[in-house]
Structure 1
Amino acid sequence: MAAVGAAMVLLAAAGACDGGGKGDRDKDATRALAAQKLRWAACPAPAAEAESAGPADGAGWECARMTVPVDWSDPGEEQMKLALIRGRATGPGRRIGSLVFNFGGPGQPGVSMLPAAAQSYQDFATLRTRYDLVSFDPRGTGDSRPVRCLDDSAQDKASAADKTPDTPAEMTTLLHLARANTQACAKHSGPLLAHIGTRSTARDLDLLRQVLGDDTLSYLGFSYGTELGAVYAHLYPRKVGRAVFDAVTNPADTPVQTALGQAEGFQLALGDFLKDCTRRHGNCPAGDTVKQATATIRTLLSRLERTPLPTQDGRPLTQTGALNGIIQALYARSYWPSLQEGLNEAMQQGSGNVLLALSDQLTGRDPQGHYSTVQAANIATLCADTPHRYTPDDVKKSLPAFRKASPVFGSHVAWGQLLQCTDWPVAGTANTPVTATGSPAILLIATTGDPATPRTNLPRMARQLGPRTAIQITRNGDGHTAYGTSPCVTDIVNAYLLTGTHPKTGTTCTT
């Protein structure tokens, strides 16, 4: 014990001789970053090559750029710019401050998402009466030094490739594609990949709070945005203001647990779609009962693995494209008519235009054949946020559980998600713990039929944050996220954000 104590004294003395050294320089750099002044101006019209941009007509939105360190452990060294967008509070009523949004992904660019969401959901106008609405492109996304990996042609091949290998040749192809993506990410974005994780983004978020001039962070995060919010609350519990997490994740899950939950969630959502389809439509394309319809869809997918369907733009609809299209349509009930149309087209007309268009939405491909960087940023963030690196043997061992959870999506999700980080060039670190002792109450929202973030995440996230911190709200319904689509949830959130009214934990919304 004496030797250890002596070593500690020597270390302390060495630090004292350095006069603070790097620690003082880091503090000076951090103070300088917090003192920066944002130059807000009307958002430019989107350029064809832009990764994200504000609304084409300005529409009262302003854009700016904020300087952040690439490496928060060395804030005085290399820096980068984050793209920001703001809509000033309109009144009437006293301005509360800024309300910062994150739209999930990870990888969704807030600069383009915020105006689009405000246009789609009129309730954003209610929030804007007393808040400046603010969002940002998180590091590695949109126009904030985006992660870049495969080019458009290579991404087309990857998006169509078989993700459920049944033969050694198919396995070889799948592994080759996964490695090609990793190598492309390392080639085009290597130095940035070690600094894309959620903890770095949470520190960016706190810098944004300071630069905006707010004492605490008012925040509305969706899907992955709930994980970002939870990490922020863990790092800065006494800087949390009024915060809402909609479609909560569970940061404590391993990638296997997350993927397994999603496979089960999409199977549940498909069943809900088919119940609606068979009940309300006498000509539901897949069949007259949920069991029959599920079997018909599985037959279609099996056939597509051998014989893809033609489409108008020349790209065939493969099994992977069809699965991606179905998954995209299950994110929101408003997509269900398109899913019904797509299945009808595939089964009765022998073409795959609608399902391929839905798949393109999921993968971020525009009509001109250009891909956004959302997928690249998604993989980079997920790999930075986990130490797990799975092998094909790991996936094979997990397949029975995935197939049991979802006969339709299980294998596709297992192979598609678990090998993404296998050869990733930098190590990852888990986001746990996310305890938030000392934080004010946070609203946590989950939807019973959510395909991507199952309702089971709700009590698990609540336990991690702490019983005095989490207020749990459940929405009975379908789709991913609830604010803006559920009047009950929307009223609760608006009352909380605008007046500080706390609902009773355990509240259930049925509308």
Structure 2
Amino acid sequence: MPNPPRLRAAALTATALVLSTVLAGCGGDSQDEDVSAQELSWKDCPAQGGGDAPSPLADGDEWQCATMKAPLDWDEPKGDTIKLALIRAKASGAESERIGSLVFNFGGPGGSGVTTLPTFGEDYAKLRTRYDLVSFDPRGVGRSAPVECQDDLQLDVYFQQDATPDDKAESATFLDYTKEFNEACETNSEKVLPHVRTTDAARDLDLMRHILGDDKLHYFGISYGTELGGVYAHLFPKKVGRAVFDAVVDPTQDPEQGSLGQARGFQLALDNYAEACTSAIEDCPVGDTAQNVKDRIAKLLRDLDSEPIPGIFPRELTQTVATSGIAQALYSQDFWRYLTAGLEQAYHGNGQILMALSDSMNGRKQNGEYSNLTAANVAINCADDKQRYTADHVARKLPEFRAASALFGDFLAWGLVGCADWAVPGAANHPNVSAPGSAPILVVGNTGDPATPYEGARKMVRALGAGVGVELTYKGEGHGAYDSGNKCVQDAVNGYLLNGKVPAAGRVCS
């Protein structure tokens, strides 16, 4: 039962049937030194979490890894420290043309940059000609003082629970599982939970900038990475270099507004999928018309609510698992074929493909191990967001969510209770990203983005302030624009990052 903030700001970090790599944790220690004076020791990356080391780059260069010390509590910079995991690919061009490091955050919150950057590294080969490509596991994530909650078997049960309760008994059961998960987080991660806010990660970014040897932070933020980048720009406006925000989180919304907007976004993506399937030259195997496609999906989910079907043995495909699998497939137009195959399979009583899609969203490997994606996502969102929603509040809001999306409305509305009884108070109603005096930030919005709806890009531009945000629109499908392969988008982004050429505000790519 995913937490809506994760859907609201999730990044696409795996192909549909390739699951996230699990990363082992690192502990912190106590020291009395100036962390700003440390030097990084870069070495070829080892195997990650029992898996393989990252594959070499196309030119044969190896990925390099390092750890950076940061204060556990930024209010006590000489107190306990934690270790943050970093990864880089050194610039491929001439040293005289090198600009510096380009730091990536791929979203979540909870996504591992150490895992994700090598997966998509070749997509940024042109940027690598003048930058060291760098990413990291933010605090609480992966190998950076990871938040730990429930074990793998408990998570299997957690994700198969009914996350769209229909009566008081089901609601009570759902709330009990949420409480058990949150209590496990407090039990296993009490020390780190107060220190995983986005403002903490932004301060880590500035320390990273300094230690990497850059006067300015050159940054590429995707999904939640745009929120992190906006918070960084607010805290350190004079330290912003060339920055790009892609798949933009609306910084003006509270969690309820964000989840409601996402319900509309996923519904739009589903509508577009259904239209595309039924207008193809070949017959659409999951419906005769766009409405028929959506009606059949709705019936499938109703049937699964009372009678799950076999999934990946020994687990069953429940209504909740199927819904999250469908949502995962809507993140990219390239995944639509998997959605068609998964639906066709499910209509014949086999839930394996939809469950594999759901597993990918939840960070589950084929061997049954989970990354800490969900634990980190909940911990960061609950530390950031001041709101604590109740079941009664959700019940009052259900009609509005259902109007936004008949398919995803209940799912996203009930996820609002995810921070109930959280051990740490939330920081704010929404992030502050105002950044007067910052260098220009290129803000890229995708009109068909389900997870971070297009309107968020314009809201981000306005919130950054006059003369900072520069809006670029991509008329496309899927979560994000640069990795769509659209030449217009890539030329605009590359032109800014590589040559400092700021596109004209309001430019549109299609």
TM-score norm. by structure 1 comes to 0.91
Distance 2:454 2:53 in 1: 33
Report the alpha carbon displacement of residue 484 of structure 1 after superposing the two structures with TM. Answer: 2.6
Query: What does residue 420 of structure 2 align with?
Result: 422
Alignment of 1:60-459 (within 5 A): 60-92=62-94, 94-119=97-122, 121=123, 124-280=124-280, 282-347=282-347, 349-416=348-415, 418-430=416-428, 431-459=430-458
Q: RMSD across aligned C-alpha pairs, in angstroms? A: 1.5
Report the alpha carbon displacement of residue 282 of structure 1 after superposing the two structures with TM. Answer: 4.3
Amino acid at match of 1:94: E
SS at match of 1:182: helix
Distance 1:500 1:57, change over 3 A: closer
Q: How many residues align?
A: 474
CA contact (8 A) 1:54 1:111 kept: no
Distance 2:251 2:312 in 1: 42
SS at match of 2:191: helix
Q: Is 286-295 or 393-402 further displaced after alignment?
A: 286-295
Which stretches in structure 1 are left out of the alignment for 5+ residues? 1-28
Deviations 1:141-183 (A, max 9, x none): 0110111111111111111111111122211110011001100
Amino acid at match of 1:89: A
CA contact (8 A) 2:436 2:466 kept: no
SS at match of 1:474: strand
Which stretches in structure 2 are left out of the alignment for 5+ residues? 1-30
Report the alpha carbon displacement of residue 433 of structure 1 after superposing the two structures with TM. Answer: 2.3
CA contact (8 A) 2:97 2:130 kept: yes
Once the two structures are aligned, what percentage of the paired residues are identical? 50
CA contact (8 A) 2:64 2:88 kept: yes
CA contact (8 A) 2:329 2:339 kept: yes
CA contact (8 A) 1:44 1:56 kept: no
Report the alpha carbon displacement of residue 434 of structure 1 after superposing the two structures with TM. Answer: 1.3
Distance 1:54 1:208, change over 3 A: farther
Report the alpha carbon displacement of residue 311 of structure 1 after superposing the two structures with TM. Answer: 2.8
Larger relative contact order (Cα-Cα within 8 Å, sequence gap ≥ 6): 2
CA contact (8 A) 2:471 2:507 kept: yes
Report the alpha carbon displacement of residue 312 of structure 1 after superposing the two structures with TM. Answer: 4.6
SS at match of 1:504: coil
CA contact (8 A) 2:55 2:118 kept: no
SS at match of 2:115: helix
Distance 1:219 1:134 in 2: 9
Report the alpha carbon displacement of residue 252 of structure 1 after superposing the two structures with TM. Answer: 2.2
Distance 2:142 2:219 in 1: 20
CA contact (8 A) 1:286 1:294 kept: no
Distance 1:134 1:224 in 2: 17
Distance 1:132 1:109 in 2: 18
SS at match of 1:101: strand
Distance 1:433 1:351 in 2: 46
Report the alpha carbon displacement of residue 90 of structure 1 after superposing the two structures with TM. Answer: 1.0
CA contact (8 A) 2:304 2:319 kept: yes
Distance 1:130 1:30 in 2: 36
CA contact (8 A) 1:54 1:112 kept: no
Report the alpha carbon displacement of residue 432 of structure 1 after superposing the two structures with TM. Answer: 3.1
CA contact (8 A) 1:263 1:402 kept: yes
CA contact (8 A) 1:269 1:450 kept: yes
CA contact (8 A) 2:32 2:79 kept: no
CA contact (8 A) 2:40 2:67 kept: yes
Amino acid at match of 1:116: T
Larger Rg computed on CA atoms? 1
CA contact (8 A) 1:223 1:481 kept: yes
Deviations 1:338-388 (A, max 9, x none): 1000111111x2111111111110111111111110111011110011110
Query: What does residue 36 of structure 2 align with?
Result: 34
Distance 1:133 1:398 in 2: 44
